Amino acid sequence: MNEGDDRRLARIALTWLAEPGTRSVHDLVKRHGPVAALDLLLSGDAPDRLLRAAVAVRTAAGDAHAVAAEALARAERIGARLVTPEDDEWPTRVADLRKLRLPEATRRVDVETDPPLCLWVRGGWPLGETLERSVAVVGARAATPYGSHVATELGYGLADREWTVVSGGAFGIDSAAHRGALTAGGRTVAVLACGLDRPYPMGNAALFDRIAETGLLVSEWMPGAEPLRPRFLIRNRVIAAATLGTVLVEAAARSGATQTLNRALGLERPAMVVPGPVTSALSVGGHQVLREKPETRLVANVAHVLEEVGRIGYDLAPLARAPQRPRDQLDDDAAQVLEAMPRRRTIDLEHIAARAGVDLRTAMRKLSMLEELALVVRRDDGYALAPTDDAHGARRPSDARHDTTPPTDASAPPIDNRRDAGADR
């Protein structure tokens, strides 16, 4: 066995002896290398008391070297491979977890957030390349139809634009994001909290097989590892660190998905929230993050997400605009003249000018413009509003010929406006 094999086996054994992310283990590896760090732990000389206790419990259950060798053999049987920081396909972005410090962190999962020592991968794509342009889409397991629809649209849109969609493989939002990416023919990565041969939930086994065929399944835990509850929270830091940004679609007040978003915030990565109905309990978590974390961005579609994670100046989301109408081209005087036109009768130039409060020359110029825009038609005895479309899209004839009596006093437009407002509008 060569030195490289020794290092790989040592990394596997270290991850088995202590849960991924354990800071004291990473300090030892950084200082002594994986092989020497493993020897130190197995000799009982770990500097941390809690770490010594954890190692003692594990070594009582089996030999670390034998466990690591069996894990490699088991991975080969299921078509998986081990990726370590020494490999070309290692996702270098996860190294930023060394700098992650969460304010007021007290729980173990919020303190022990160091980078992975190794990753198990199933699928043909290089891991680092696949994660280079990636976005995490996370959310509630018990998703609403609204949340599932949004997650599917985001997954499809991101994959269609050649971005990798990363999530946790759970029911609800995670599954919807994965399926959206698969439907678009793009790549998606499921980061699991258990062994790759024990996918959880089992109801998503067929989905995981599809992901492995066209994307990647990834886990820090060796084949055979159980999906224990704390491991999902440990896993979330990898989802946040491996991607360029994280989108939260739906989450209750206490949710692992909001924890993933907080990891992204701690890493100073784009953290995005899709708003939901204020009446929905599954929107509470996202809305709370939006209120409490001013650096979090509200997003409503793929364009918004790409503006946050894409190239500066290239991936700007278009501004939401209503459809252009002829009226949008009018200046103030033209708009005033158009507003002065009665709804159902013809009116002469002088009375239009009086009602609009403009001089005759201005009224003539603006009426010509309104004619060109097909908003006004010229009659023998004056001007009238052009026919408009009815609710079914058919052209409705103008009623201009039915009421041609001019106002009685052109100098008093307010009186005339009241009559027109009541009768015509």
In the β-sheet with 246-248, what is the strand arrangement from edge to edge? 80-83, 119-122, 216-219, 188-192, 164-167, 134-138, 246-248, 271-273, 297-298
Q: Give pLDDT, residue 177.
A: 98
Q: Give pLDDT, residue 389.
A: 56
Q: Give pLDDT, residue 324.
A: 65
Q: Give pLDDT, residue 105.
A: 85
pLDDT-derived band at 106 (thresholds 50, 70, 90) equals confident
More confident residue, 421 or 370: 370
Q: What are phi and psi of 118, to 5 degrees?
A: -165, 165
pLDDT in tens, 352-382: 999 999 999 999 999 998 988 889 999 988 9
* Percentage of the chain lying above the pLDDT 90 cut: 77
What does the alpha-carbon distance between residue 212 and residue 123 come to, in Å, rounded to a whole number? 5
Answer yes or no: is pLDDT of 3 > 80: no
Answer yes or no: is pLDDT of 264 > 80: yes
Torsion of CA 238, 239, 242, 246, to 10 degrees: -140
Q: Give pLDDT, residue 315.
A: 54
Residue boundaries of the structural domains of the chain: 1-74, 78-309, 326-424
What does the alpha-carbon distance between residue 203 and residue 63 come to, in Å, rounded to a whole number? 33
Indicate the fold that domain 326-424 takes in CATH: Arc Repressor Mutant, subunit A (1.10.10)
What's the token pair of residue 206?
């067929």
Could you check whether 78-309 and 326-424 share the same CATH topology? no
pLDDT in tens, 56-82: 999 999 999 999 999 999 999 999 999
Answer yes or no: is pLDDT of 150 > 60: yes
Q: Give pLDDT, residue 421.
A: 38
Q: Which CATH architecture has domain 78-309?
A: 3-Layer(aba) Sandwich (3.40)
Q: Which helix (H) or strand (E) covers residue 377, if one does? A: strand 376-379
Which range (46-50, 144-148, 203-207, 357-361) has the least confidence?
A: 46-50
What does the alpha-carbon distance between residue 84 and residue 96 come to, in Å, rounded to a whole number? 16
- Mean pLDDT (the chain) is 88
Nearest in space to 257 (alpha carbons), one of 227, 292, 280, 289: 289
pLDDT in tens, 267-312: 999 999 999 999 999 999 999 999 999 999 999 999 999 999 986 4
Q: What is the DSSP letter of 171?
A: T
